[in-house]
Amino acid sequence: MGTARKTEKTGAGEPAGGLQGQAEHAPKLQAVAPDRASYRTIGPEAEGQRLDNYLIRIAKGVPKSHVYRIVRAGEVRVNKGRVAVDYRLAAGDQVRIPPMRLAERAPTPLAAIPAAAMPPILFEDEHLMAVNKPAGLAAHGGSGIAFGLIERVRAARLHQPFLELVHRLDRETSGILLLAKSRRALLGLHEALREGLVEKRYSVLVQGDWVNDRQHVRLALTKYVNRHGERRVSVDAEGMESHTVFSLIKRYGRFSLLEADLKTGRTHQIRVHLSHLGFPIVGDDKYGDFELNKHIARGTLISKLPRLARMFLHAGAMDFKHPVTSRPLALEAPLAVECREFLKGLSED
């Protein structure tokens, strides 16, 4: 097992040292073919995965019903024997895959993904990667988005056999995003998140004069679709239990800088909790003060105050145990330049 390392710089691009050696040792995977059986040796990236989920992943476009049929019919063999669809794969397993015709799709060409768009890497070892996601970049492609952060990282690491998002951040939110480089790490971090063993703290600038130095907010949340067909979240006593702890960092006149400590991880939790309390996040285009946001984005709110054309919500710190080594990790992502400049402008006002 390699040694975990932190990068010395958080600038864009690959960190010094890289993982060039992976290219020489990356497994050569035989493609699923429409006219002949193919064979694969299971590596650590798929260890512990159910057979049906593995087949669905590598044979995108093949109906799930067909995958289940060929397994039950014995056309898929593991170590030359028949297995059930819920068989858990082990490293070194030899899997025979019968001929399968994949749906014709036009994936986004890797050449179309910016080569220099790798986000700053905060931490990396052979199981885990933590990056500093910029605001405005979706965590993944879809819904009209050709590619997101995970696609960029995969394009930059063509020989990395396994790369999956551990969790997500809103497109408008910047900061720490975890990616798993092994299934063991992915499952371990998912369990830690479910058990509340991952501490996540956000920097957030709100409109209003926040009163309490520390305040627990427990407001249940529910999802709904508005009349424009857009997904939203609102406070609802019948919704999912949600808990955020807000701490006052500094007051800036009509604004307050807070630290938000997430105790649960509901969609838009911080944004909706603050909006419901009457302290909308600066730049929030879903739950914020739209007129105020417009002036801030144009730079017309206060003379000489820098413009800010994004939401001021940043996932700045994350503490947890490494999912494989159990080593304590304390990750930090620096606040974006535009946010620092905006706070500086408020201080000088």
* Structure token pair of residue 230: 């857009």
Q: Where is average pLDDT lowest: 8-12, 110-114, 120-124?
A: 8-12
List Cβ neighbours of 195 (8 Å cut-off, separation of 6 or more).
none
**% pLDDT > 70, the chain:** 85
181 and 200 both lie in a single domain? no
N-terminal to C-terminal alpha carbon distance within the chain: 52
Burial status of residue 349 (CB atoms within 10 A of its CB: 0-12, 13-18, 19 or more):
middle
Report the phi/psi class of residue 48: left, alpha or beta, with left for phi > 0 and alpha for psi in -120 to 50: left
Query: Does the pLDDT at position 8 exceed 80?
Result: no
11 in a domain, yes or no?
no
64-72 helix and 51-58 helix, angle to the nearest 10 degrees: 130
CATH of the domain at 30: 3.10.290.10
d(CA 99, CA 102): 10
Same domain for 77 and 126? no
The answer on 128 and 90 residing in a single domain is no
- 1 lies in some domain: no
Q: Is residue 14 part of a domain?
A: no
Residue range 20-27: mean pLDDT, rounded = 35
pLDDT value, residue 65:
87
Best CA proximity match to 52, nearest among 40, 37, 64: 64
Q: Are residues 234 and 144 in the same domain?
A: no
Of 97, 127, 150, which residue sits at a domain end? 97
Burial (CB count <10 Å: 0-12, 13-18, 19+), residue 335: middle
Residues above pLDDT 90, as percent of the chain? 62
Inform me whether the pLDDT recorded for 309 exceeds 60.
Answer: yes
| pLDDT 10s digits, 45-89 | 777 888 988 888 888 778 888 899 999 999 999 999 999 989 998
**Residue 287: inside a domain:** yes
Point out the domain boundary residue: 166, 192, 218.
192
Q: What is the pLDDT of residues 93-102, one digit of tens each?
A: 999 999 887 6
Residue 317 counted as domain residue = yes
pTM (predicted TM-score): 0.73
Torsion region of 157: left, alpha or beta (phi above 0 gives left; psi -120 to 50 gives alpha): beta
Q: Do 186 and 221 belong together in one domain?
A: no
pLDDT, residue 30, reads 52
Judge if 200 and 188 occupy the same domain. no
> Is 108 a residue whose pLDDT tops 80?
no
Residues 6+ apart with CB under 8 A from 143: none
User: Annotated catalytic residue: which of 93, 170, 284, 289?
Assistant: 170
Question: 135 in a domain, yes or no?
Answer: yes
Count the Cβ atoms, other than its own, within 10 Å of residue 291: 8
Q: What is the CATH number of the domain that holds 176?
A: 3.30.2350.10
Are 64 and 169 part of one and the same domain? no
Residue 232 has a CB neighbour count (10 Å cut-off) of 15
57 with 73, same domain: the answer is: yes
- The pLDDT mean for the chain works out to 85
Query: Residue 26 pLDDT > 60, yes or no?
Result: no
The three-class DSSP label of residue 121 is: strand
**Is the model's pLDDT at 303 over the cut of 80?**
yes
Domain assignment of residue 282, yes or no: yes
Distances (CA, A) of 253 to 68, 142, 208, 210, 293: 62, 40, 8, 10, 17
Measure the CA angle with vertex 205, ends 346 and 265; round to 5°: 165
Q: Are residues 169 and 312 in the same domain?
A: no
DSSP per-residue letters across 218-283: E--EEEEE-TTS-EEEEE-TTSB--EEEEEEEEEETTEEEEEEEESS--TTHHHHHHHHHT-PBTT
Do 240 and 266 contact (CB within 8 A), yes or no? yes
Percent of the chain that is helix, strand, coil (3-state, to 5)? 20, 25, 50
Domain of 256, in residue numbers: 196-348
Residue 10 placed within a domain: no
- Residue 248 — φ and ψ, nearest 5°? -80, 125
CA distance 208 to 255: 5
pLDDT of residue 42: 87
Where is the domain boundary, 133, 167, 192? 192
pLDDT for 227: 87
Same domain? 201 vs 321: yes
Q: Enter the DSSP assignment of 293.
A: H
Angstrom distance (rounded) from CA 14 to CA 158: 13
Residues 86 and 110 both lie in one domain: no
**pLDDT tens readout for residues 176-208:** 999 999 989 999 999 999 999 999 999 999 999
The domain total for the chain is 3
CA angle 152-154-157, nearest 5°?
A: 110
Same domain, 255 and 170: no
Q: Catalytic site residue 170?
A: yes
